[in-house]
């Protein structure tokens, strides 16, 4: 659906405000990452390109999600999952690119991508295809299955292959950067399962009456922090390592 009219943002609607702010912030971040590619060594250019794509894809989706929300007043569930299905696997790709020169294999890349897609597809089925009125059984089953993908990514980043390769890189900057990204997965991504449990049939929805509109505000803020923050950590690694190499070359 294409919205041709200019839609005013009510000053007393923080959800609409954060949709627009998220769109602008992520678009600005994309411009920054794309321009900064010229300042880093060749091996880091792809990492910054991925960072720019993550925030760029999110910016486009937020543009449409804002309009969808303003017109319908409803949670743009499908648009959110389309965004996440594209951007979250790309965020996982960053783990591979950061550890590639320490010996990361392509198999690690595919395992992370498959885990992220598994997590998102099953999460979407749990939300979008829940029977009328919200079935707790449906929500719990698909929520549990979806969480398996999340736990795998979390374990790999903190204790598994990614963590070991970060240490093997012999770079304090890469080791620290990977740990920061692991914190994003542990803390920043936690808002998403919380939001899932606020959907009809979810535990928080049943116990406290929380619904989709209650978490839209937090989704918007968390999305911007997670995606831009991920990119800034990668940028710091790329620019620091590039500066270090230039100093050695000089």
- Residue 95, both tokens: 């783990």
**Which of 7-16, 205-214, 236-245 has the highest mean predicted lDDT (pLDDT)?**
236-245
In a domain, 4, yes or no: no
Residue 7: inside a domain, yes or no?
no
pLDDT of amino acid 3:
46
Examine residue 190 and state whether it is found in any structural domain, yes or no. Answer: yes
Tell me: pLDDT of 248 over 70.
no
What percent of the chain is predicted at pLDDT more than 70? 91
Helices (H), the chain: 14-36, 42-72, 77-99, 106-128, 136-158, 161-168, 172-186, 191-196, 203-208, 212-249
User: What confidence score (pLDDT) does residue 128 get?
Assistant: 86
Span 5-19, average pLDDT: 79
Task: Name the burial class of residue 39, with classes exposed (0-12), middle (13-18) and buried (19+) by CB atoms within 10 angstroms of its CB.
Answer: middle
| 157 neighbors 96 (Cβ within 8 angstroms) | no
Domain count, the chain: 1
Q: What is the mean pLDDT of residues 51-62?
A: 98
- Which pLDDT value is given to residue 133? 63
Judge whether 165 lies within some domain.
Answer: yes
Instruction: Provide the domain limits for residue 79.
Output: 14-240
The arithmetic mean of pLDDT across residues 47-55, rounded, is: 98
Task: Name the percent of the chain lying above pLDDT 90.
Answer: 70
pLDDT at 2 over 50: no
Instruction: Pull the structure tokens for residue 87.
Output: 């951007």
Residue 197 sits at φ, ψ, to 5 deg, of: -75, -5
What mean pLDDT do residues 189-213 have?
77
Both structure tokens of 151: 């736990």
Per-residue model confidence as pLDDT tens digits over 100-159: 999 999 999 999 999 999 999 999 999 888 876 678 888 889 999 999 999 999 999 999
Q: What is the pLDDT of residue 212?
A: 65
What are the tokens at 163?
């963590």
Locate 58 and state its tokens.
Answer: 């999110």
- The domain that holds 188 is classified in CATH as 1.20.1070.10
Tell me what the mean pLDDT of segment 208-232 comes to: 86
Confirm whether 69 is domain-assigned. yes
What pLDDT, on the 0 to 100 scale, is given for residue 34?
97
HSE-up (13 A, CA, CB side) for residue 38:
4
Is pLDDT at 68 greater than 50 in this prediction? yes
In a domain? residue 204: yes
Alpha carbon 249 to chain centroid, angstroms = 36
When pLDDT is averaged across residues 45-68 and rounded to a whole number, the result is 96
75 in a domain, yes or no?
Answer: yes
SS3 at position 53: helix
Q: What tokens were used for 104?
A: 């990361």
* Burial annotation 111-123 (CB, 10 A radius, 16+ → b, else e): bbbebbbbbbbbb
pLDDT greater than 60 at residue 189: yes
Examine residue 196 and state whether it is found in any structural domain, yes or no.
yes
Mean pLDDT of the chain: 90
- 32 CB contacts (<8 Å, ≥6 apart)? none
Average pLDDT over every residue of 230-244: 96
pLDDT for 4 equals 46
């Amino acid at each position: 659906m294409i919205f041709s009219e200019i839609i005013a943002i009510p000053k007393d609607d923080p959800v609409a405000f954060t949709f627009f702010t998220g769109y602008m912030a992520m678009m600005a971040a994309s411009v920054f990452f794309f321009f900064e590619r010229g300042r880093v060594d060749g091996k880091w250019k792809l990492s910054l390109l991925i960072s720019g794509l993550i925030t760029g894809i999110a910016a486009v989706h937020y543009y449409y999600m804002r309009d969808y929300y303003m017109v319908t007043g409803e949670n743009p569930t499908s648009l959110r999952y389309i965004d996440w299905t594209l951007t979250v696997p790309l965020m996982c790709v960053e783990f591979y690119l950061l550890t590639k020169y320490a010996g990361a294999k392509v198999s690690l890349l595919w395992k992370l991508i498959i885990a992220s897609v598994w997590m998102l597809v099953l999460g979407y089925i749990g939300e979008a295809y829940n029977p009328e009125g919200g079935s707790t059984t449906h929500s719990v089953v698909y929520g549990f299955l979806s969480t398996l993908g999340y736990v795998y990514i979390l374990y790999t980043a903190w204790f598994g292959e990614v963590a070991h390769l970060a240490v093997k890189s012999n770079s304090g900057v890469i080791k620290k950067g990977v740990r920061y990204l692991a914190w994003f997965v542990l803390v920043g991504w936690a808002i998403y399962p919380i939001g899932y449990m606020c959907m009809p049939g979810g535990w928080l929805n049943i116990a406290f009456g929380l619904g989709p509109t209650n978490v839209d505000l937090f989704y918007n803020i968390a999305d911007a922090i997670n995606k831009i923050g991920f990119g800034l950590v990668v940028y710091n690694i790329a620019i620091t390592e590039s500066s270090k190499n230039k100093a050695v070359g000089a």
